[in-house]
A and B are shown apart, each in its own frame.
Chain A
Amino acid sequence: MLLRRHVKSRIIKFLRVIGYAFCVSSFVAFGYDWDPSRVFYKRLKAADEYVYDELRPLHKTFNPEDFITIKSGEDRDQLREKLRSLVWGGDVDPSEIRPTVVRKDVLHQPVDTSDCVTLQSHPSSPTETLLLLKCQHRLYADVRGLQSLDELILRVGPVYETSIAYFRPRVPNGTLIVYQNGYASTYHYQHRHIERLINEGYTVAALNHTGYGETLRLCEKFRSTVGPWCEIGWGTSTVPRPMRVLFSPIMASVGHGLDSGNIDRVAMIGFSAGGWLTVVASAIDPRIKNSYTIGGVMPRFLQETEEIAPNQLYRPYQQIGSLLDQFILGADLPGRRQVQFFNRYDRCCYRNTRSLLYRDHVANAIRAVGGGFFDVRIDETHPRHKISKGTLEAILDDLKQGKDDD
């Protein structure tokens, strides 16, 4: 009896300790996950003061002016032409690229989802990289401001095929936003932001990076034929003019939007690796009036070793010139605007305030060629690799500002 009481009292004590520990841990977990307190934690854990707070002395030694070669309208036109022919060759006009197939109103068409579980799971790829439009209809079915969702299919070269989600709002405000996602997920991961844009009246064309979503399976299944086209997403390729794969879907979305007759302004938002695609696309195509990048692009001289994005490594592209010149091309005409957002405490890349080092130099160079508006903004509200609510609001404000300026 005494032994039983003793054992019982030990068990009670043990349970109490565990219970207290769990309760306290729930509070600690709250602090660990909540954005404002996580910023504090990440700064505390940083390897040195140069991760988030101070600028590396090395970075301050560079003069951004040395990387700007555009001094006149002629320089600008030459670089634009070089980029254009690097991507498509001299005989293709990117403004004439259109989707190969348009599937209208896919949300209200019968769709076979029986293979979604198989298609969206993979032993070596995380689910977020595999999400397919036909399997994610539920994310968009109840969007208040959505009139219809079309799927645009574009064939590039003889075998590569990609899918673009084209969201038509009920009350279009005349602006098409091309949203370009980056690595490690699909645009479905941004569904709340897409919803917000649609509800504001924006027409949205959402694109995945090469090798994600619809193209992931294709690249894998037909490794010997389609595979080489997909490899450009990682910087190498043996096919002719492989950068077409990255930029033709953007041009097809813009062309398709402008053909519809209810679009008078095109903007582009690029997140992560999609930020670089946004910079290059807006450098090539002046039809893209507003461009916004989020945690997406950084000139080589300011990059940390681990930040070199693979899709930028294609050697002929590397030889074409500095990114600062391409920033200038993105806002080179009156009425064009480019705003680059960076998350100061980003877990992934381009953190801290390095980008402010080139902001004024680029803005001045843009003014010198009679161009529009360029800015760099730092988001300090969270420590994640994401588009925060505040950043999206800032983009919406800037879009309105751009319209008012017209």
Chain B
Amino acid sequence: MTNLLNTTAMLHIVCGAIAIGSFGFSVLIWWLDGAWHYSAMPTEGVVRVGFLGFGGLSTLLMARWLEHWGQS
């Protein structure tokens, strides 16, 4: 438990929440406004936010996996 809630873990959670939240809101706005390139959040914006967010998330997950790799 202590391990999970150390500073690094908290940072990972916050970052993950930012990435998922940004992507979630992007998709929601895009969808509600017609799901096209002229939405208030255009299609290319959703792709950009998604690419960066999921890029960030997967890099952090990779770091966590590497941290624990070889320890168990």
Contacts and interface: CB of A to CB of B under 8 A. Distances in A.
On whether the two chains bind one another, the answer is: yes
Interface of A: 8, 11-12, 15-16, 18-27, 29-30, 32-36, 189-192, 381-382, 384, 386-389
B60 to A, nearest CB: 4
B60 A23 contact: yes
B19 A26 contact: yes
Contacts of B52: 22-23, 25-26, 29
Given A22-B52, A22-B55, A23-B57, A30 B26 contact: yes
B56 A19 contact: yes
25 contacts: A12-B63, A15-B59, A16-B63, A18-B56, A19-B15, A20-B11, A20-B15, A22-B52, A22-B56, A23-B16, A23-B52, A24-B56, A25-B52, A25-B56, A26-B22, A26-B23, A29-B45, A30-B25, A30-B45, A32-B48, A33-B42, A33-B45, A33-B49, A192-B34, A384-B38
A163 B44 CA distance: 30
B33 A389 contact: yes
Contacts of A34: 26, 29, 40-41, 45
A23 B19 contact: yes
Q: Which 4 A-B pairs have the closest CB atoms?
A: A33-B45, A22-B56, A19-B60, A26-B53
A23 B45 contact: no
A36 B29 CA distance: 12
Interface string B5-19: 000100110011011
A12 B62 CA distance: 8
B53 A23 contact: yes
Contact of A22 (B37, B41, B53): B53
A32 B45 contact: yes
B48 A33 contact: yes
Nearest to A389: B33
Given A19-B12, A189-B37, 17 more contacts: A16-B8, A19-B15, A19-B57, A22-B52, A23-B53, A23-B60, A24-B18, A26-B18, A26-B49, A27-B22, A33-B26, A33-B48, A34-B41, A190-B38, A384-B38, A384-B42, A387-B38
B62 A15 contact: yes
Contact of B56 (A21, A30, A382, A388): A21
Interface of B is mostly: helix
A347 B22 CA distance: 24
A346 to B, nearest CB: 13
A8 B11 CA distance: 20
A32 B62 CA distance: 27
B4 interface: no
A111 B44 CA distance: 31
Contacts of A16: 8, 11, 59-60, 63
A371 B30 CA distance: 41
Contacts of A388: 38
B17 to A, nearest CB: 9
Nearest to A18: B59
Nearest to B37: A189
Contacts of A35: 40-41
A27 B62 contact: no
Contact of A26 (B40, B42, B56): B56
A389 B34 contact: yes
B61 to A, nearest CB: 8
A238 B48 CA distance: 46
Contact of A192 (B18, B26, B36, B67): B36
B1 interface: no
B38 to A, nearest CB: 5
Given A15-B63, A33-B48, A35-B40, A23 B56 contact: yes
A295 B18 CA distance: 36
Contacts of B22: 26-27, 29-30
Contacts of B44: 33
Nearest to B61: A19
A174 B63 CA distance: 64
A192 B56 contact: no
A22 to B, nearest CB: 3
A75 to B, nearest CB: 40
A21 B56 CA distance: 7
A131 B41 CA distance: 23
A253 B9 CA distance: 64
A19 to B, nearest CB: 4
A29 B18 CA distance: 12
Contacts of A8: 66
